[in-house]
Structure 1
């Protein structure tokens, strides 16, 4: 069992603030993803939990006990790094076994524990190989097995898939998800890849410049982003955002007019997802020439320029047209999001 609480955690180096007043409770067995661009503070947060960085302010509790002053080895956490961090002179078996030796686990238990961990990540046929003889995906699986073999309370994973190619990322991501379910351990996972976050997480913490922007399930983050940063960071493609004015329920911008909206009058940013709009023969909501067309296989992505911004809409895979052709785009009012033009915060309906 491992419940983690972060209370008013901050990390500063001189005048630079890496993490600012971070508060969160992480449930036992929860898979939590820290998501954000480079430099947002997500890895620093994880390193403070691990004990690799000291918190400037605040308390870190594991199962109710404050661990700020404990050495990393005494926090019962296992960390998987982006760089694998394997010992090149040891074979796979010894790499996986190493944490057991360091922690003084009874040697009689080593072989059984190593074999169990290797079997979980499908490495039984590679135990005699050195890391140099392994592919990137196999090396990452060794790093996972080395974390598993300890049976820690908490798994910390720092962008473990970043060095893998696209196909390996998909298969290894599925393996991590399955392992998390089988091991029933609390997992904190750091990534800048929103697809990883959406597919792996029970909850996602979106960060920017050391500040938490939103915490919620992948569905909540996707369907009701708290601000324009979250809206523009989550989704592939990201949510379309158009600056304009709302007056008596009607949103107006160049080549855009949408009625039936609920919100206060004034300057706003309107958002909608590509899959929530459609290309139609004629409508008054949005009319513009096609900027580009992309065939995705299951759909055709149609992009137009509105007020200097690209707006993407998913059309049927059979849709055919040419760049420069005028198109009409239907945007249902009940699929629109409104944000404050100055603060970027979501306007509640």
Structure 2
């Protein structure tokens, strides 16, 4: 059982605010992802939970017990870092075993624990090798096994996949997902990669400049972004956003007209996702513009047009054929649109 409570936690260095008033309860066995760009405070938040940084304000509780003043080793958390932090002079077996020796765990149990952890991450054939003889993906799996062997209350993972190439990232991501299901241990995972967040998380915390922008399931955050920052950060490609004016339920901008919307008159930002729009249904052309670029993705063609100063992407069928510069009509019905306040960027609920 490991419920983690962050009560109005903050971190400041002089006048610089790293994390501001972070308030959250992470349920036992939950997989929570902290997502945001570099410098948004996600790693600082994790390091405060681990005890590697002191919180300037607020309380951190694990299982109802305040841990602010506890040393990292007394918090029963295991961290997996972006850099694998392995001991080069020890083989894989000894690297995985090391936390057991440090914690004074009965040596008679070591072999069984090490072999169980290595089997979980498929390292049985590499136990005799030194880290220098391993690939990046194998090293990261040693780091995972070293965290697993401790049987901690909480796993903390700080961008563990960012040093891996694209193919390894996918397979290691699947392994982490399966491990979290098998181990059923509370996990906090830091990343700037929204695909990792969407695929791994039970809930996602989107952060910007030390402040939580939105908290919810991956589906909530994708389908109903709380503001334009979240809308532009989640999704591949990100949500299309256009500034324009509402008048009597109609949104208008350069070469754009969408009717049937519900928002007060005045300046607004309209958003829609590339996969929700279509290419020119008869009599339903909300946007007409020349093609800026075409990208064949294999399962689809991404068509990008330029409207005003913005690039707008639409997902077309894979057999769509056209040329850069050709004029296309995009279908953007009101039902797929999201509206945001022009000044604050906050979502306008219909």
TM-score, length of structure 2 as denominator length: 0.99
Secondary structure of 2:275 counterpart = helix
Residues 276 and 332 in structure 1, CA contact (< 8 A), matched pair in contact too: no
Question: Aligned partners of 1:199, 1:251: CA distance in 2, in Å?
Answer: 34
TM-superposed CA distance for 1:281, in Å, is: 5.7
List aligned pairs for 1:24-63, cutoff 5 A.
24-63=24-63
- Tell me which residue corresponds to 1:307: 308
The within-5 A match list for 1:240-279 is 240-279=240-279
Aligned mates of 1:332, 1:316 — CA distance in 2 = 18
- Where 2:348 maps in the other structure, the secondary structure is coil
Distance 2:349 2:317 in 1: 32
Q: Does 2:111 align with 1:127?
A: no
* Counterpart-to-counterpart distance in 1, 2:122 and 2:108: 23
Q: CA deviation at 1:284?
A: 3.5
**Distance in 1 of aligned mates of 2:265 and 2:61:** 45
Partner of 2:336: 335
- 1:325 partnered with 2:322: no
SS at match of 1:274: coil
Return the offset for 1:263.
Answer: 1.1
Q: Which residue of 2 aligns with 1:170?
A: 170
Equivalences for residues 66-77 of structure 1 within 5 A: 66-77=66-77
Query: Retained in 1: the 8 A contact 2:281–2:331?
Result: no
Tell me the distance in 1 between the aligned counterparts of 2:326 and 2:281: 12
Does the CA contact (< 8 Å) of 1:40 and 1:210 recur in 2? yes
Mapped partners of 1:281, 1:93: distance in 2: 61
Query: Which ranges of structure 1 fall in alignment gaps of 5 or more residues?
Result: none
SS in 2 for 1:297: coil
Unaligned runs of 5+ in 2: none
Aligned residues of 2:227 and 2:340 also touching (Cα < 8 A): yes
CA distance in structure 2 between the aligned counterparts of 1:32 and 1:248, rounded to whole angstroms: 42
TM normalised by structure 1 equals 0.99
**Secondary structure, in 3 states, of the residue corresponding to 1:245?**
strand
After superposition, the CA RMSD in angstroms is 0.6
Which secondary structure state, in structure 2, belongs to the residue aligned with residue 157 of structure 1? strand
- Determine the C-alpha separation between the residues in 1 that align with 2:55 and 2:265: 44
Aligned to 2:295: 294
Q: Any residues of structure 2 matched to 1:162-241 within 5 Å, and which?
A: 162-241=162-241
What stretches of structure 1 move > 2 A for 4+ residues in a row? 281-284
Query: Secondary structure of 1:68's match?
Result: coil
Deviations 1:195-214, CA, capped at 9 Å, x for gaps: 00000000000000000000
Give me the whole-angstrom Cα distance separating, in 1, the residues matched to 2:333 and 2:36: 30
Measure the CA separation in 2 of the matches of 1:166 and 1:281.
37
CA contact (8 A) 2:285 2:332 kept: no
